[in-house]
Amino acid sequence: MPPGGGGPMKDCEYSQISTHSSSPMESPHKKKIAARRKWEVFPGRNKFFCNGRIMMARQTGVFYLTLILILVTSGLFFAFDCPYLAVKITPAIPVVGGILFFFVMGTLLRTSFSDPGVLPRATPDEAADLERQIDIANGTSSGGYRPPPRTKEVIINGQTVKLKYCFTCKIFRPPRASHCSLCDNCVERFDHHCPWVGNCVGKRNYRFFYMFILSLSFLTVFIFAFVITHVILRSQQTGFLNALKDSPASVLEAVVCFFSVWSIVGLSGFHTYLISSNQTTNEDIKGSWSNKRGKENYNPYSYGNIFTNCCAALCGPISPSLIDRRGYIQPDTPQPAAPSNGITMYGATQSQSDMCDQDQCIQSTKFVLQAAATPLLQSEPSLTSDELHLPGKPGLGTPCTSLTLGQPTPPSSMPNLTTETTLSNLLPLKDEHGGHQFLTPDEAPSPPRLLAGSPLTHSRTMHVLGLASQDSLHEDSVRGLVKLSSV
């Protein structure tokens, strides 16, 4: 192909390649982006503080109310009651009260700011692999979407336990786990979502929650008892009404403690029962297990001993967090391009280039075939098809024979051409506005009358030989173009 004819096509192909491939002089590594931590893209409805060290639920309004009630009540007790009680009774009262207060605050913050045991969600690859495993297990091979089954069954201590599939997290939840609708997370050994602590209560913070409500019960009873003692001692000296006027804070503390002690003590007793039987609030409300070992739905998680159950819940090791919320997100490593001879072909670029080449080939073949169908020797009216008929060649008036499609081959050589002539030499393309313009039948030039090296004569024999070579060139060119269009 001549240099001028293939220029536009090469420019178009080069521009497509350059948009997807990098220059050899460029650095193979992209610019470094600031690494992000996993808590910044955490899918659950949680809030994080201190660079992911503190994890809470989004609904934290009731937690702040709990904090205010404890701080205000304890602060009033230490400010107005403890000085009088330390003098009249014993200085150990503020010491014991201080120990209980700090223990309550520590367990409360530990429960509220920690990971309750959130299970990580499945990645897209893991979810797809799980669905494939389910399809193989069920013997289905349909390509359409089919929701996986909701349960699996496992045997734990002789008891059949169902594992439910979570369509949000794309995992089969382990035993005793459940999905919290408020935090939108699957929590291991899920007990309940407690708005008073602003977090879920699960495997990793249940012991701190129990110690919080238990110590808060002692603190509430302690404050309430010594506030009443303070009022009684003052009333013995100045009367009951004067005692209330002298210490109005004691009245407020007594009212708060009176209305809260019942619920706090009752909650502590309920969770003491759950720990002794090794159950969760979720399991007890649903009635999943029976405490009697002989029944059919006995609790497979109970050790059969109250002391052992309490030790397992309160003294066992704390499992590490599974979500690694302070870990860094690993960026996608770019795949290095395979080296080639200066040209890098990508799937999208190659397919677009092939489509472009195919469309242009079809268009060019269409125009050239139309041009070739026109009479080649309109300027020689004296010659007829009978006079130009050669042995082994069909006449100009006869239809062309059918051509067998196959791999395109170049036109056969012609003895009366001194130089190799291609189709692009005979039918040059026009280059207008950087595009590919093709010749119409009206613009197609007539074949050359005289070939290089032929004698300059106008005899009838030379005309016949020239027409025979033109006919051969015409047939071979059409055959090549038809074969090329079929590829």
CB 220 within 8 A of CB 197: no
Radius of gyration in angstroms for the set of CA atoms belonging to the chain, rounded to a whole number: 46
Distance of alpha carbon 286 from alpha carbon 227, whole angstroms: 41
Distance of alpha carbon 128 from alpha carbon 351, whole angstroms: 28
Residues 6+ apart with CB under 8 A from 276: 306, 309, 310
CB 39 within 8 A of CB 26: no
Catalytic residue among 82, 169, 194, 257: 194
Annotated active-site residue 400? The verdict is: no
CA atoms within 13 A of residue 323's CA, in its CB half-sphere = 28
51 φψ region: left (φ > 0), alpha (ψ -120 to 50), beta (else): left
Backbone angles phi, psi at 298, to 5 degrees: -70, 160
DSSP string, 139-153: T---SS--PPPSEEE
CB 118 within 8 A of CB 44: yes
CA atoms within 13 A of residue 283's CA, in its CB half-sphere = 26
CB 57 within 8 A of CB 182: yes
Helix count and strand count (H, E) for the chain: 13, 9
CB 414 within 8 A of CB 477: no
Backbone angles phi, psi at 325, to 5 degrees: -65, -20
> Packing angle between helix 248-277 and helix 306-314, nearest 10 degrees?
110
> How far from 97 is each of 103, 216, 229, 416, CA to CA, in Å?
10, 11, 15, 119
Instruction: Look up residue 405 and give its amino acid.
Output: L
Furthest-apart CA atoms within the chain: distance in Å:
153
Q: How far is CA 71 from the centre of its chain?
A: 44
Residues 6+ apart with CB under 8 A from 350: none
Distance of alpha carbon 487 from alpha carbon 362, whole angstroms: 10
C-beta atoms surrounding 411 within 10 Å: 19
Distance of alpha carbon 350 from alpha carbon 357, whole angstroms: 10
What is the token pair recorded at 128?
Answer: 């797809």
Which residues are known catalytic residues? Answer: 194
